[in-house]
Amino acid sequence: MERTNAWNIPGTEDLKPYIPAKTKIMKWTATLVGYPLLFALIAWVMTIFGK
């Protein structure tokens, strides 16, 4: 498991929350697959209504 850099308070490094692997995979999937699909959908809608 990895730790997040959500905050950086000296002396509390061992208290940082863990990011589960499943959550990290879902975030990467949304970033690499979901956003391009969303942008393609928006571009398609704009070409239809932009005529």
**Residues in the chain, pLDDT under 50:** none
Residue (of 28, 1, 3) closest to 13 by Cα position:
3
Asked if residues 20 and 4 have their Cβ atoms less than 8 Å apart, the reply is no
List CB contacts of 21: < 8 A, sequence separation 6 or more: 1
List CB contacts of 4: < 8 A, sequence separation 6 or more: 16, 17, 18, 19
19 φ, ψ to 5°? Answer: -105, 115
pTM over 0.85: no
